[in-house]
Amino acid sequence: MPLHIDTLSRKNKMSIADLPNLLIGADTVVPTLYGPKRYVNFDNAASTPTFQPIADSLVSFLRWYSNVHRGTGFKSQLSSWAFERSRDIVAEFIGADLEQQVVIFTKNSTEAINKLAYRLPFENSDIILTTLMEHHSNELPWRRAGKVEHVGLNDDGTISKDDFLAKLKAFGSRVKLVAITGASNVTGYINDLDFFALESHRAGVKILVDAAQLVPHRSIDVKPHDPQYCIDYLVFSGHKMYAPFGVGVLVGDKETFEQGDPETVGGGMVDMVTLEEAYWTDLPEKEEAGTPDTVGVVALAKAIHMFESLGWEAIIGHEAGLTAYALKKLKQIPAVTLYGDTDPANAAQRLGVISFNIRDLPHALVAAILSYEGAIGVRAGCFCAQPYVKSILQVSDEEAKALEKQILSRDRSNAPGAVRISFGLYNTKDEIDRLIEMLTKIAFGDYNRDYVLNKEKGEYTPKEFEVDFGEYFRL
Ligand SMILES: Cc1ncc(COP(=O)(O)O)c(C=O)c1O
């Protein structure tokens, strides 16, 4: 009789209203300058926490956990089954067809893009057409692979479709891949993937979508049997979708990965090794050298069940409600400058990722005040998207050069950037009210004045405020 079958499945109806209570750490109290306060997390675009049902599923899986694929014992067989069943669940979630495509588990989106960049047979003069909106993870791997060209932006910070078409035409057959983000981690803009896929394919070019930001917020279908609108390659990360246990996903056609050598070699991905030769095994193992993160993969499958159980309509409705509410309130603080689309009426067409500055206050100082005085976690800086942030902040080339010099001399005190808040499924309007109250105080100068800047790091900390993290979590 099987024991401890957990109950989180796509059939179990979950409700968004339950999530604040199901969040692990929902009631965590952290130290501030004014004593302990309940923590508010508005940094979900970076990583999301997890929910009790997902953690419970993992605890029930851990009693079966064993090494996958090579063991002969029952636990190893069950773990191998769970690992492969999770792959099927991931494939179904994004509409992949495992007959012709492969789902490869990686560490994160960054590793997935690097893996693909290694695999594609570019030559030095081949062009990878990417955009000015990208996260560094969808920029730097391509610089090693070939010549990178960038599609420019419109005045509002969206990607210029005209420039995309012009560049596709101008570079012609030299363009070997279009690499574009599904949604911005700075402004929350969602890109028109049908348009970019169609035009790429019309030009005879494959498209990679960096879906690290999009997958947790919108349904995605890679449409493998649609030559016009398919997404040829897709990457995303478990830690941004409530499965913070170290798994990323790379999806692509088998043909890409069947030829040639994988990036990483070692155990688990060979059929035979002699002292002279190694014969790679079949996909997907060929691309997953070493012992995989089975627990992380199972967690991702369980997180997917949670998304399916909640339903996209409810997810989008909740996040759009929070975004519209926050934009409306932020606009009422006169000193706040918002970037991107600031219209609350458009909240359902974008992600709940909002970047802003308060007057000329350093972004890092605003983030520090929110943390040390309000117990509110946000992010400040360029969010690993420096070219995009410089562009939306309208940093001139001259200013950028001067700043580069300063930063390279290890002084980040004037590093450009913004403050970013990003919502998760469990956030509430009450939490936004807390943020607005703090930002209003900051705008009116009502905050502690004793912050010290660490120039090298570009970070602010209050004077005489020491925390022993070991008091909160022992290691
Ligand atoms: C749009 C985008 N792409 C890629 C990444 C990189 O993801 P990871 O850190 O999981 O590799 C991020 C992370 O924030 C992102 O926002």
Nearest-CA residue for atom 14 of ligand 1: 46
Strand order in the sheet with 379-381: 336-338, 353-358, 418-422, 379-381
Helix, coil or strand: residue 459: strand
| pLDDT for res 7 | 64
Q: Classify the C-alpha dihedral 134-137-140-144 as positive or negative.
A: negative
Which residue's C-alpha comes closest to atom 12 of ligand 1?
A: 212
Task: State how far the Cα of 310 lies from the Cα of 300, in Å rounded to an integer.
Answer: 15
Single-letter amino acid, residue 256: T
384 annotated active-site:
yes
Asked if the model's pLDDT at residue 424 lies above 90, the reply is yes
CA distance 136 to 231: 21
Question: Does the pLDDT of residue 307 top 50, yes or no?
Answer: yes
Banded pLDDT at 4 (limits 50, 70, 90): very low
Which residue is associated with the tokens 């989008």?
316
Indicate whether residue 130 lines ligand 1 (CB < 6 A).
no
Assess whether the C-beta atom of 212 lies below 6 angstroms from ligand 1.
yes
| pLDDT tens per residue, range 226-277 | 999 999 999 999 999 999 999 999 999 999 999 999 999 999 999 999 999 9
Range 5-17 average pLDDT: 76
- Is the minimum distance from the CB of 44 to ligand 1 under 6 angstroms? no
Amino acid letter, 335: A
Rounded Cα distance between 19 and 152, Å, is 39
Interval between CA 111 and ligand 1 midpoint (Å): 10
- Decide: 48 in ligand 1 pocket, CB within 6 A: no
Dihedral sign, Cα of residue 269, residue 271, residue 277, residue 280? negative
> What is the average pLDDT score of the chain?
96
SS3 call for 389: helix
Q: Which residue is closest in CA terms to ligand 1's atom 16?
A: 185
Angle between helix 52-62 and 294-310 (nearest 10):
140
Compute the distance between CA of residue 216 and CA of residue 469 in angstroms, rounded to an integer. Answer: 30
Catalytic residue among 384, 425, 435, 438: 384
Span from the CA of 6 to the centroid of ligand 1 (angstroms): 30
CA distances from 68 to 58, 79, 85, 294, 301 (A): 16, 6, 12, 8, 16
Ligand 1 centroid distance, CA of 185 (Å): 8
Q: What is the DSSP string of 171-202?
A: HGGGEEEEEEESB-TTT-BBP-HHHHHHHHHH
Q: Is 363 in the pocket of ligand 1 (CB under 6 A)?
A: no
Query: What is the pTM assigned to this prediction?
Result: 0.97
Does the beta carbon of 185 lie inside 6 Å of ligand 1?
yes
Q: What is the mean pLDDT of residues 296-303?
A: 98
